[in-house]
Amino acid sequence: MNRIGAKSDSGEGGEDPSRFRPRPNGDNANSAIKQIASGRFGVTADYLTNCREIEIKIAQGAKPGEGGQLPGFKVTAEIARLRHATEGVMLISPPPHHDIYSIEDLAQLIYDLKQINPEARVCVKLVARSGIGTIAAGVAKAKADVILISGHVGGTGASPQTSIKYAGIPWEMGLSEVHQVLTLNRLRHRVRLRTDGGIKTGRDVVMAAMLGAEEFGIGTAALVAMGCIMVRQCHSNTCPVGVCTQDPKLRQRFGGSPEKVVNLFSFIAEEVREVLAKLGAKSLNEVIGRTDLLTQVNRGAADLDDLDLNPILAQADPGEYARYCTLEGRNEVPETLDAQMIADAGPLFNDGEKMQLQYNIRNTHRAIGTKFSSRITRRFGMAALKPGHVTVRLRGSAGQSLGAFAVQGLKLEVLGDANDYVGKGLSGGSIVVRPLPSSPLATQANVIIGNTVLYGATAGRLFAAGQAGERFAVRNSGADVVVEGCGANGCEYMTGGVAVILGPVGDNFAAGMTGGMAFVYDEAGQFPRYVNPDSVIWQRIDSLHWEGVLRDLIAEHVQETQSRFAQRLLNDWALERDNFWQIVPKEMLSRLPQPLSDREEEKRA
């Protein structure tokens, strides 16, 4: 795709960093579009900075609103490495994005992504449905650069048959509505429209353009060109032609080559030219939104003769604006505190000096540390700097997405509090949030950070002297964290890292948790009422090794936050240790580096 100036999409499973640089022969295997989906698998600062476009996949045309699962037998060592998971352990993609519950939340994610990659466009993938025009208008106002309308025909062969056959609607219906609504609201010229879902020929491309699209996704046809025979066994790891399998023997049967894909798209482009020539048009831009060039014909059954497609063919008046995107570049977002931080950190980026910066902040300062991390990643890489190489001390209330995608070498210390999404996608950085020394509040009884903390984090540490909100550490896959309480749905879908909660938890704790480990302080003995038992077991601490892991994290928490409550727990450790629960996913029991019980260790010996 890079050879012909098109864009390939990484999908939601991450991508090997070895693909980010061209090969010796000049071929570039890097996916120009990096996808960020609900699972946030492999979404690191490095992943997001090495692309030309970032796609937020809200849903998938073949299975709208369903999420997905990757069976444990398909999680090979390579996939586990890319997704920051454990080999052989099932992975779950949640149905929703846990940081998107409104258009405002989506706007915040778009803002975060434009900070971590200051050049990339941001695309939002929506599924065709009735009323999608209103949603798309909100997406456009949220500063998205591309809106993708996905139809029900395309999509993964691993989708359930019931979804493939009965869910979703054609892209034509969704695309037409979106184009009309954006045009009526004078938003069409600010955003590109893309569509996919069964587009196979040049004629399909031109029809999509007439209904409002200017970019086109072709997936199934490209797979067929590479040898896919559509046996619909993608979920079983038994693809007979080696396209969708991790079995080395089956993969040897793969006969695809770049030349086959190049030929496919060359012939599609040639057919587009032929169709445009018949229409008397010199470019696709001339036919975008020209539904007057389409007419309804009856090619179905007699009972479909009264089907009225005129709503799809209606034209909205663009007024003084064009029917297609005329914006050069992307829709820019306001700068945050990072612009000043980068300017002040000249000695770091020029000479690699160790630095300490200090600022007063307000809750209007969003995504602090994100653009700074982007600059670190491009200058030094994600792991070249030692932890704490740059310390940024902040005083006040941090806005949304504090430390989103922060990388190793950056440490953010907040004297105050922080809003939602602290440490979203944390990629090795350190975050400390604690009250002002003069605060009279008891840390364990008050909330200090908001909802959806450490969503999709892959590495790093967070210490917060206070409680967190709901969906704490959801889909955490590598960060270590200590907080003093959390709301509902804590540690949901977690696959890695260690979470220590020194206080009460909310309902549905550890739902879908398949990796990592959690420790919960439960003086009242109420924890079993709140845990979701489907995928985890819980027990009192029965191993000196795991007791040491827990105590070391609490000691580091005390050192970083000066939490008096945590210090009291350490002072009375002989009494308090028995108030902790250790929560471990069932699938991890045989994969732990140390047994959960010293008695089990004695039996092994």
Asked if residue 71 has pLDDT above 90, the reply is no
Q: How many CA atoms lie within 13 A of 98 on its CB side?
A: 32
CA distance 124 to 118: 17
**pLDDT tens for each residue of 197-233:** 889 999 999 999 999 999 999 988 999 999 999 888 8
* Secondary structure E strands in 419-556: 427-434, 459-464, 477-483, 495-501, 515-521, 536-540
Q: How would you class 598 by CB atoms within 10 Å of its CB: exposed for 0-12, middle for 13-18, buried for 19 or more?
A: middle
DSSP per-residue codes, 79-126:
HHHHHT--TT--EEE-SS-TT-SSHHHHHHHHHHHHHHSSS-EEEEEE
Query: Which DSSP letter does residue 444 get?
Result: G
453 in Cβ contact with 422 (< 8 Å): yes
Task: State residue 403's pLDDT score.
Answer: 98
Region of poorest pLDDT, from 301-315, 430-444, 553-567, 571-585: 301-315
Task: Supply φ then ψ for residue 139, to 5 degrees.
Answer: -65, -40
Predicted local distance difference test score (pLDDT) of residue 87: 93
C-alpha distance from residue 336 to each of 116, 283, 366 (Å):
12, 40, 6
> Do 14 and 46 meet the contact criterion of CB atoms below 8 Å apart?
no
What pLDDT digit, counting tens, does each position of 163-203 carry? 777 788 899 999 999 999 999 999 999 999 999 988 999 99
pLDDT of residue 398: 98
212 and 149 Cβ atoms separated by less than 8 Å: no
Comparing 134-148, 218-232, 415-429, which segment has the lowest mean pLDDT?
Answer: 218-232
pTM above 0.85?
Answer: yes
Q: Domain locations in the chain?
A: 467-605
Report the sign of the C-alpha dihedral through residues 565, 566, 568, 569, in that order: positive
For tokens 């007979």, what's the residue? 240
pLDDT (0 to 100) of residue 69: 83
Tally Cβ neighbours within 10 Å of residue 564: 12
Mean pLDDT value across residues 272-297: 94
Q: Give the type of residue at 428.
A: G
CATH code: domain 467-605 is 2.160.20.60
Residue type, 441: L
Query: What size, in residues, is the chain?
Result: 605
Q: Given phi > 0 = left and psi -120 to 50 = alpha, else beta, which region is 510?
A: left
Give the residue with greater pLDDT, 304 vs 14: 14
Rounded CA gap, 585 and 183, in Å? 50
Collapse the DSSP code of 172 into the 3-class scheme (helix H, G, I; strand E, B; otherwise coil) and give the result. helix
- pLDDT tens column, 293-339: 998 887 667 776 677 888 999 999 988 999 999 999 999 999 999 99
User: Is 91 within 8 Å of 24 (Cβ atoms)?
Assistant: no
The pLDDT value recorded for residue 604 is 58
